[in-house]
Amino acid sequence: MSALKDTLVQGLAALELELDDAQVELLLAYLALLQKWNRVYNLTAVREPAEMLTHHLLDSLAAVGPLLRETDGRALRLLDVGSGGGLPGVVIAIACPHIDVTCVDTVAKKAAFLQQAAAALALPNLHGLHARVETLDREKGQGFDVVASRAFASLADFVNWSRGALKVGGVWMAMKGKHPQDELALLPPWTEVFHVEPIAVPGLQADRCIVWMRDRLA
């Protein structure tokens, strides 16, 4: 575990994220949970802990700085759509205790894992929800300041399916690989893309970016 911790601490330094020892230990505990339950729930195709750390934890942590800058570090509600094993939602909940994170997934066993993770890691700001995102309605108090996704769907499907869950004045945060020019061209006309932000993931030699969007009509 010490090698994993060293890699994590070095990655946090490269990302200029200041997390305390308790948060570092929580991230490692989450990694252990992900590895344990992956055997039963098939949460991720990545099996090796070191690879999970880079491809999942550090990749999700790379979005934390941009998220805090975009939202001025304020307390808010974030929805992680198609969360699967909790990426980036669980990582954001650990790194940002002031953000209330709901991870939604249509697969019951994945939602159950997220609920288990919230309890095991004692994270009061983390919630697992078994539902289709299309059923969430801001008019019923189910709106979110930020609606996020990572490797979930096309940008058009993402905004169409989650539009009802986005609060008026809220933003979409879509984590993508290379600049998704083809997907951007297919977005509905009411979607405003106001920033495509490149991000660098320590130890990962791959193109990554965040597509920031808002609803022009909201």
Q: Are 15 and 62 in contact (CB under 8 A)?
A: yes
What's the domain range around 119?
Answer: 2-215
Q: Is the pLDDT of residue 1 over 60?
A: no
**pLDDT averaged over every residue in the chain:** 94
Q: How confident is the model at residue 41 (pLDDT cuts 50, 70, 90)?
A: confident
CATH of the domain at 117: 3.40.50.150
Task: Name the residue with higher pLDDT: 35 or 122.
Answer: 122
Q: Tell me: the pLDDT tens digits for 140-199?
A: 888 999 999 998 899 999 999 999 999 999 999 999 999 999 999 999 999 999 999 999
Q: How many domains does the chain have?
A: 1
| Contacts (Cβ under 8 Å, ≥6 apart) of 63 | 88, 92, 148, 150, 173, 175, 199, 210
pTM of the model: 0.96
User: What pLDDT score was predicted for residue 32?
Assistant: 93
